[in-house]
Amino acid sequence: MAACCGVGAPLPPAPEVAAAAPSPTTTDNACFTALLNMSDCLSYVQDGSNETKPDKACCPELAGLIDSNPICLCELLGKPDAVGIKIDLNKALKLPSVCRLTTPPVSTCS
C-alpha cells in the first residue's frame, strides 16, 4: 500500500463552499462502504492488535477493493481516523504484501 498511497504525501484540500456545511462526497461515501466491506481486516490492522496474520476473509476483501476502488486505499491512509477506529499504519501498509497482492502506482493517489 505504500506504493499506492504515498504515505506522507498530502491529500488535496477539500473545496470550500461559502456559508454551507461540508457534506460527504460521493467518493467519501463509496470509500466508506468499500472500507466497511473490509471488516475482516480490521482485527489485524487495528492499533494495538496482536494478530500476526489477517483473518482468512481479509485478503479477498482487499483484492476486491484494489480491483474495484483502489483510491479508497489512499483515503484510508490519508485519513486513518475517518473510519472511527485507530489503524496501525505499519500493519496497514504491509497488508498487501502479507496478502500477496500488488497495489496500483502512487499516481493513483494524486
Q: What is the mean pLDDT of residues 30-47?
A: 86
Grid coordinates belonging to 1: 500500500
Residue 12 identity (one-letter amino acid)? P
Which of the two residues, 1 and 39, has the higher pLDDT score? 39
For the full predicted model, state whether its pTM sits above 0.75: no
Residue 2 has pLDDT above 80, yes or no: no
Query: Which tens digits make up the pLDDT trace of 53-69?
Result: 999 999 999 999 988 88
